[in-house]
Amino acid sequence: MSSNHTSPQINWNQIDTVLLDMDGTLLDLHFDWHFWMEFLPQTYAEKNQLSIEQAKQVIHAKVHAEKGTLNWYCLDYWTAELDLPVAALKHEMKHQIQVHPEVMNFLARLQQLNKNVIMVTNAHRDSLAVKLEMTEIGDHFDLMVSAHDYGTPKEDIAIWSHLRNTVHYNPNRTLLIDDNTHALRTAQAYGIRHLLCPIHVSPNMDLVDPEGFPAFKSYAEIMP
């Protein structure tokens, strides 16, 4: 996609609650891409005496078949499906986890402004735990929710009402920042008014197509 975009104009006085995705949005997505596309196939190939290409074909087909479902994000599911200790393998790679530039300043600023800051991630709790172990982002959230807590991913509009049963928020005064445009669409359909797509998910990956949603590349562009 074109890298041309206009920095979104945000009236922070109209926002009480900020919902934030994690992978790609706050953290460099290359860690997860490398794990699923390279490291896991290599481990699978060694265990099953396959070539790397054969292992990639098997795993990529399985992953593609589950896209948009909670299984896609579920380490327990993939542990059983691939007969590999997926959570333990993620721990082996944890040194590669990186926070995007300006994210910590952005989170600190939201706290200073007394915004209600909530993480809503499709990531499995085991995956969330290793990300929190390797970064300091967890210190800046009032609540951290995994879609697995509700048994439904952000691609399902039901999650936003499930979330509302957990914590009070006014959709009309809520901002969701998420690189998953499917999640942005379900949030929009639910009535969440303010929506932003971070298009720079990793220095090592292509920009995300925001599919018409307001977009930004650096948190400096949207700093309150």
**pLDDT of 1:** 42
**pLDDT of 7:** 76
**pLDDT of 68:** 83
Contact 172, 140 (CB under 8 A): no
How high is the mean pLDDT in each 10-residue block of the chain (224 residues)? 67 97 98 93 96 95 90 94 95 94 97 98 95 96 97 96 96 98 98 98 96 96 95
Domain positions in the chain: 12-28+98-222, 31-95
**pLDDT of 67:** 87
| Token pair of 215 as six digits | 């977009």
Cα gap 192→118, rounded to integer Å = 14
Helices 52-65 and 40-48, axial angle in degrees (round to 10):
120
Strand-pairing partners, residue 121, are: 146
Q: Domain 12-28+98-222 belongs to what architecture?
A: 3-Layer(aba) Sandwich (3.40)
Sign of CA dihedral 56, 60, 63, 68: positive
